[in-house]
A = this chain, B = another copy of it.
């Protein structure tokens, strides 16, 4: 159902890109702990590659902000700071708002069906309080809207920033109240999308991001508090 990027590319991806794809989940999944050192040698052994392609991959991940390279001291998994959240969410908001506007212009009935379907699934996971499923489907919805916007540059930019925000399991933490609100927001998002009302969809996505930002910042502040004790 997803739009294909091309006719089955036979070309083997270069090793370093393969590694980028493999390392990303380790970082956002928390297996590589934020603030800890990236165990270069260990990862080389694990993936059965030499240091050269691994280090190339680390350079790319660093340019995406997922890790930090300290000269002569190796690579470190970056941590999500409050100030970074305050920076990234407004940018992400602007980009998602644009994606909503563009999606309304280009989305097909089939794609609308798909989003509706995903939305229903998301509601179902909300009702049985399945947070993991909820988050997974939630992301699929945002991605589906992005796809419908038909703008690969926009997709890539959103993707990169989203990854940075997913580094920890922080986002998977919501109060019951915030969760309810988020679902309401998504209800509006779906309605505006179905109505192809770009302006209101953009506005709602912006508010959605702003609310998410607040929620994440609150949680991080609570974490800080906790750590101080």
Please give the residue numbers on chain A whose beta carbons come within 8 Å of chain B beta carbons, in ascending order.
11-14, 16, 52, 55-56, 59-60, 63-64, 69, 71, 84, 87-88, 90-91, 94-95, 97-98, 102, 151-154, 157, 161
Contact = CB atoms under 8 A, between A and B. Distances in A.
Contact of A63 (B64, B84, B97, B151): B64
Given A14-B69, A84-B153, A157-B161, 18 more contacts: A11-B71, A13-B71, A14-B71, A56-B56, A56-B59, A59-B60, A60-B63, A63-B64, A87-B151, A88-B153, A90-B151, A91-B95, A91-B98, A94-B95, A94-B98, A95-B95, A153-B161, A157-B157
26 contacts: A11-B71, A12-B71, A14-B71, A16-B59, A52-B52, A56-B56, A56-B59, A59-B59, A59-B60, A60-B60, A63-B63, A63-B64, A87-B153, A88-B153, A90-B98, A90-B102, A90-B151, A90-B154, A91-B95, A91-B151, A91-B154, A94-B94, A94-B97, A153-B161, A157-B157, A157-B161
Contacts of A94: 94-95, 97-98
